[in-house]
Structure 1
Amino acid sequence: MDADLHHIREIEAVSQGVMATRDPVVVESWLRCIEKHRLDPAVRAQAYILPDNQLREHRQRSEELIGIARSGIENLYSLVAGQNYVLMLADRAGVTVEYLGDETQKAELRRSGLYLGAEWSEARAGTCALGACIEAGEALIIHQSDHFDVTHGGLSCTAAPIYDTRGQLSAVLDISLLSSPRPRTSQSLALNLVRQSARRIEMANIMAESRSDWVLRLSGSADFLDVDPEAAISMDGAGCVIGMTHAAARLMARAAGIDWRQAGLLIGRPVSDFLNVRLDRLDDLTRQRPAPERLIETRDGHRLFAHAIEPRRLPSRNPVPIARAVPLPAALRELAGDDPAMAQLLNRAAGLARAALPVLIEGETGTGKLTLARAMHDAGRSGAFIVLRCAELSDTDEALVFGRMDGRRHEEGLIDQVGRGTLVLDKVNELPPRLQSRLLQLASEGSYLPVGGIRPILPGLRLIATAQGDLAACVQSGAFRRDLYHCLAGSALRLPPLRDRRDLFWLIDRILARAYAEPVLLSPEVLTPLAAHQWPGNLRELSGFAASLAAVAQGPNVTLSDLPMTMAAPTERSGGAALLARTLHETGGNISETARRMGVDRTTIHRRMRRLGLHAGASTH
């Protein structure tokens, strides 16, 4: 009891600004527990185990991750078996979706929360390794009295984050002890083991996702490069980053001088922005050369050994039947041309359109979030399609959205009008806090309570949310509920900005044809400024441009004089896009001559043309 009282007073002292001797990650977590989560260290909280139906939903959302991680989890557990460790894999909400432990201790482990289905989010459990790791995004140890809640004071927990290939926290791997030696340093080996396992799980994940892409694996040691690399980057045919492990994200962020927590900014950029590698010389980094000779440098001067792995291609004749890709529904097929990133996104959207899960669509302004939501509705279900403009709502609009129960009389709200159709929460990041709280039940359980109601209603609708930018940033700033975010983000789609799409000219042709009500011919000289323009308003800007052009241009032939002044004079911002379009025009579409002038080989020119949607025109020599 004296120890518990001392612990509570220590936390209270830290909250009042008294300097602590604890590890900084512990102090930061304590402060979050008090200031952000409003937890009281004097109130004991027993471990919380989710009901079976809720656990089943969390496990279903994490099914692919569990499959990839299982081998790494089992290998880690084999290293600590017999030492009373419990291994847990938790999702982004802090819910344990996979667990390995001693069956003879099952009852005690369940009471302590070291069990399948336990929720270890910081908001629920206070300072703990899983929750603090989710908040901090880094591997850490929470040892005995580091825990916020005295109920967990006997546990020693060590956790490491697992990131997806887009740089988003995907899961947390944790190994814990019911009781351990008193010194905190006793868990240093556990920290190294869980870090290594998380890194290897990320490596397995990126290799599984990147069978058709170039992968660059990196290591500080030539001896371990080919057997146990430290980081990996996947690239598309144009040499742009499409995926990475967390170690690679940190490496590239450091080279670019940005915060690693903004890893999403790395996606879509040429890998040469971060490493001194040339796409046309990747063959020099394959296993054809000894590992010690595959030395490269980062842009900030760090030396690494590299292993380039070519995209896997199926043999032309394969006796094993190959499953054909399921054709996209027409509503989704109309949204993109020949763009691999969009093709992947639309295939995922088609699968989600047939499911009943909430979906989050993120992207810059004008990227087509509502258009995608409408296409998913058309592809997946009938019924009403209703858009709720979150920016126009206030905390007093609960009845407007959810309806009201007055005795036995039910005044319908907007949700009642949706029926079994689709409700779109447009710009959900601007939803008022009170409505966020009410929508949590709808997102997590599919039901809602009218104002004044006591019985939940199960409408059977499909929920889609759109967010401008990155909703996770709103969670970090406290403007958006973390639990609601996790309910939505389990099935997330991120639309790329127009400047990163390879089907730019396909889109331009279609949108101009729609504005002119007939096909439009683009003169060769307009390709350069159109490719050079950054399109900050994305598809919305492109549609406005097309409408304006149709109103003033003479006939369906667009020349340089028809373009706005700001667009007719391309600047250096366009980089290689404008240069390639101009050089192709100057050489009459001669690929060989274009390659000679730009100092690259013909295959590089072909790759860049495909990315930009450019055509050779007169010649392909």
Structure 2
Amino acid sequence: MNNASQRRHIDTVLSYGGYQAANKSYSPTHELIGRSWQRCLSEYGLDPSRPRPARIVTHQTLREHQDSVDEFLNVARAGVEQLYSQIASLGYVLLLSDHRGIMVQFLGDKHDDRLHKAGLYLGADWSEQYAGTSAVGTCIKEGQALTCHRVDHFDSSHISLTCTAAPIKDPSGQLLAVLDISSLHSSRTPESQNFALHLIQLHARLIEDAYFLRRYRHSLVFKCDQSRELVQVNGQLLFALDEQGVILAANTAGRALLTQYQPISKEAITLPDLLECQWRDILSITYESKDGVRAFRVSGTQQMLYGVLIEPRKKSSSQLDVSQVISSQEESVSALDRLCADDPAMRQTISLAKRLRHRDVSLLILGETGTGKEVLAKAIHGTSHRADSPFMAVNCAAIPESLIESELFGYAPGTFTGGRAKGAKGLIQEANGGTLFLDEIGDMPLHLQSRLLRVLAEGQVLPLGASQPVDIDIRVLAATHCNLTQLIADGQFREDLYYRLNGATLKLPTLKARADKQYLIKLLLERINPAVRLRADAMSALLAYSWPGNIRQLVNTLTFAEAVCETGEITVHHLPDECTQHRSRSAIIPLSSVGQVIHTNPERPTVINGHCQLESAAVQQNDLLALLRHHRWNISAVAKQLGVSRPTVYRRMKKLEICLPKDV
């Protein structure tokens, strides 16, 4: 801005403060700016003809200002960074001041001397008393969002700047901070900043509400909005409540509603009075409403609000026990809790497992190969009333079909040539008093399913060659990667056994779908070697990988990386190639799902479904043949791709009448 422009601006400001203001061709268009000019001239004694240099406080003073709002800065950081990411490319810098106008946070080019000279910098003092009319200083005095565009500034050295600021208030309504975006240069028209004003008001509200929720995280919070569809994600009004429903605090939108309802009286207001309802109606929102949302009418009006509840993070004797009305707090069970961190599907599974662990109801655990079905089964057993009794695991796909019957049910003396002289207890008897875990139950031969059903129904097991059954007391946990309902439809699994096993279903998500992969990676590595750490590049590669082998593959990967790293730090270079190349690969699927393979190339089938959904025998035969030919009849390679054992592949080949070529 040249000297002539500065002189004209000085004349405008000075004349505006006198009696000739109405006769001048230029006057500030915004009432807030006009009041600020008057304060600068009359109250602060500032002289627009004597520009003041930017005032940057000392490092010690800045630290004191930052310390005074430390909790707020921790909450605001995410919102500030998100806003800056949207405006940085447009030439703006972002500033966050405390309530006194000292910039306690700055996002911009720290090496640009022009910003430092203009005061758009960390530690700058933009209080109206010192810097004159500006977006930050005037926002502090007026308590309103505004744009101070170019010649709106009082100081002539600032008339090339454009600044837009919005107030952030604490839960009591007191000014806490000011959010500002500024630019050294901009269009001459004030209208060019309209979008900036809306954008900064939006982010100021988001930060303000986040701080409100932080301050009242130990209280019950009622969040509401005029839209049922948006209240869960963008509830505009927040109310913190005590155990009687008295409103302890509200955000800016909530305080505005309270002012309309009771503008004069300072007595405490209860939320039931405000919403014309009973206290129980509010407490039972989650318990009784299908979507966790309930409609309320504002007292004395036709205005409808839709509300949800945010329960306290922790409870003390003085805090509201919502569980008395809604439901009891879920018990903490460490062996189950540590199986997940923050994955919604796993939380639901673990919650159900906790409630059922002491019941003798049979459980069916569903999940792809490697998702941790046996780990979950052991955790359920280990936290149940049967924890001191045996846990016997049987992999129905790994035991040869000729041995499954004797392994499960045992045999009497003399039953087999070469068998034990005294006979042998089967795994079912070995589990007496405890838990029998039947893994890959979908691969159990059909004729043995009938015998197992009888055991479960009668509580007795008859060893091979024996004449008298043996009483048993077991709880059965079964697991499979197959779609058992499809197997039932195809006549390959007994429907009555399915319902006997399926007292309740626990579903395990794939590792790729889990939101807590980072937690699992750290947990598993700590178990392998607590002294080894993952560098950021390795963690990024692991999080980006698709994990077709699920948690089992992750364990193998971490074990390999720990073995080859020499410095106690795993980098991306220590990971197996497949984890760093990120090429799309076929998912590892159960053998019985080969009917869901599409032959884009007859010799290279493409897997599209990892669940066990069978088609006709002819289609299954063609699919399995394609896999065998692709791997040149290497049974181990086929079993590895399908995530099953070699005996399972041989059993399926026998069933589908597929014979090995003579030259193999």
Q: Which range, TM-score by smaller chain? A: 0.3 to 0.5
Give the greater-gyration-radius structure (CA): 2
After TM superposition, the score normalised by the length of structure 1 is 0.48
